[in-house]
Chains A and B, each alone.
Chain A
Amino acid sequence: MLDDLRPRVLSEIGNVVVGREEEASLLLTCLLARGHVLLEGVPGVSKTLLARAFSNCLGLKFSRIQFTPDMLPLDILGGFVFNMKTREFDFKEGPVFTNILLADEINRTAPKVQSALLEAMQEVQVTVEGHTSALPHPFMVIATQNPAEFEGVYPLPENEKDRFTMRIPFGYPSHAVEFEILKRNLADMDLSLVRPILRSGELEEAFKIVDAVKVSDDILHYIPRIAEKTRSDNRISLGASPRALVQLLQVSRANAALDGREFVTPDDVKKLAKVSLSHRIRLDRSAALKGLVQGTDAFVDQVLDVVKPPR
């Protein structure tokens, strides 16, 4: 059972990151679901710090790429370099060959570079000049973006957004949390305070437990009903994709396992539907301008209110 894993991870991350328990919990859920996360928030709200602390805590290999407009796909994936000794071209692995890849400010780079991550995220492998290499397991992309920026950014295309299992919004912390941040920063705080907490093989065992979580047919009918509702509403121009449903199911299983259950309940689905679906849904412009819908988060809430779960 995994019911003690979440408290252990949150406690360890809490040594450095203050007031981000919910976000850290979602990161763990997403990792166990073999998914990828888009962290969305203004600069300075501890997105990067949380990603690093999360990686340290699980003892995983971590790479960070700062996305810039002049990047090339090779800067991420790696490329062939001529070896003077063997007189052959050897493949030199790029920063994508890691367990946790922090793609910082992903919307600052051109779509060609953003797309370079598609194969890695979907198939956990990369192909360069016909040479395919598998990525390490587990592999998770944690991308960050600032939603308030409009200049010098390239908004993620729909197919790229659809690869992200979750979008986690990072708001400003509360007064109490900011007080604690200031208090802690007076002393020397560094990431070495977050130590690996997993025993050897524990993460692999956790993946197996998640894979063994049962899903009843009623739940398998419930999730598509939610998706159908997002597609049939005339205030929406793009609804949830089948890939979104598969990922919602997988994160629901991971959540059930982390709660110590061997089966998924409608509460798991409802808890994760907003972070799993809202970034993939596109509002109809005229409906949004007329104020008929207040945003994709509010829309998903409305859908969950009207779709009857199995009881």
Chain B
Amino acid sequence: MVTEVVYFLIAANAAVYVVLAIGLSRRLNKFPRDATLEEAFKILEEELKKRYPDLPEGYTWNEVLTKLKRSATKTKRSDWVNIENTLKQYEAFRYGGVDYKEVDPRTVVRLAQQLPRGEKVVR
């Protein structure tokens, strides 16, 4: 009887770890470290949709990032400088057809990860 309980506990423990590992793996895959510039903004857009269902569909990147700057307090000031520079390059690429060089979109992905939960974007 004791042996069965021990086996059961080991199996349950293993199952918990498997679930945790799957969750962690999904989270890591959801926010890839080597995302391209376009992928980074796509990730941010998807996260915004999930976190702020009330956000009007007509927002632009400049508008939403200005609002987030006020509410996403976890993001460092140096990261904001990087995010704003990245946005400039993204806009030049997206609307001006200018190729981007030496751009680091990781801060944009990190912002998507750090979006405040349970808050509404200040309108």
- Which A254-268 residues sit within 8 Å CB-CB of chain B? 261-267
Q: A218-B95, A264-B95, A305-B58 are in contact. Are A311 and B41 (CB under 8 A)?
A: yes
| Interface size range of chain B in the complex | 10 to 19
Instruction: Specify the chain A residue showing the minimal Cβ separation from B90.
Output: A311
Find out whether the CB atom of B91 lies under 8 angstroms from the CB atom of A308.
no
Find out whether the CB atom of B94 lies under 8 angstroms from the CB atom of A262.
no
Please tell me if A42 contacts chain B, counting CB pairs below 8 Å.
Answer: no
Q: A265-B91, A305-B56, A306-B56 are in contact. Are A311 and B96 (CB under 8 A)?
A: no
Please tell me if B19 contacts chain A, counting CB pairs below 8 Å.
Answer: no
Q: A311-B41, A311-B45 are in contact. Are A263 and B95 (CB under 8 A)?
A: yes
Cα distance A262–B92 in the bound complex, in angstroms: 8
Instruction: Specify the chain B residue showing the minimal Cβ separation from A215.
Output: B95
Cα distance A216–B93 in the bound complex, in angstroms: 10
Please tell me if B78 contacts chain A, counting CB pairs below 8 Å.
Answer: no
Please tell me if B114 contacts chain A, counting CB pairs below 8 Å.
Answer: no
Binary flags per residue of A209-241, CB closer than 8 Å to B gives 1, else 0: 000001010110000000000000000000000
B49 CB → nearest A CB, Å: 11
> A-B contact count, CB below 8 Å?
53
- Which A289-311 residues sit within 8 Å CB-CB of chain B? 304-311
Instruction: Specify the chain B residue showing the minimal Cβ separation from A261.
Output: B96
Find out whether the CB atom of B60 lies under 8 angstroms from the CB atom of A309.
yes
A64 CB → nearest B CB, Å: 39
A263 CB → nearest B CB, Å: 3
Cα distance A212–B92 in the bound complex, in angstroms: 15
- List B contacts of A307 (CB < 8 A): 57-58
B39 CB → nearest A CB, Å: 13
Taking a contact as CB atoms closer than 8 A, the residue among A219, A263, A264, A308 that contacts B58 in the complex is A308
Cα distance A155–B45 in the bound complex, in angstroms: 45
Please tell me if A270 contacts chain B, counting CB pairs below 8 Å.
Answer: yes
- List B contacts of A310 (CB < 8 A): 94-95
Find out whether the CB atom of B96 lies under 8 angstroms from the CB atom of A304.
no
Find out whether the CB atom of B61 lies under 8 angstroms from the CB atom of A219.
no
Taking a contact as CB atoms closer than 8 A, the residue among B45, B62, B92 that contacts A263 in the complex is B92
- List B contacts of A309 (CB < 8 A): 58-60
Cα distance A265–B96 in the bound complex, in angstroms: 9
Q: A265-B91, A311-B41, A311-B45 are in contact. Are A216 and B96 (CB under 8 A)?
A: yes
Please tell me if B97 contacts chain A, counting CB pairs below 8 Å.
Answer: yes
Taking a contact as CB atoms closer than 8 A, the residue among A214, A270, A306, A308 that contacts B96 in the complex is A214
- List A contacts of B45 (CB < 8 A): 311
Cα distance A267–B94 in the bound complex, in angstroms: 13
Instruction: Specify the chain A residue showing the minimal Cβ separation from B64.
Output: A311
Please tell me if B63 contacts chain A, counting CB pairs below 8 Å.
Answer: yes
A125 CB → nearest B CB, Å: 35
Q: Tell me the A residues contacting B by CB distance below 8 Å.
A: 214, 216, 218-219, 261-267, 270, 304-311
* 5 A-B residue pairs with CB within 8 Å: A216-B94, A270-B60, A307-B58, A311-B41, A311-B61
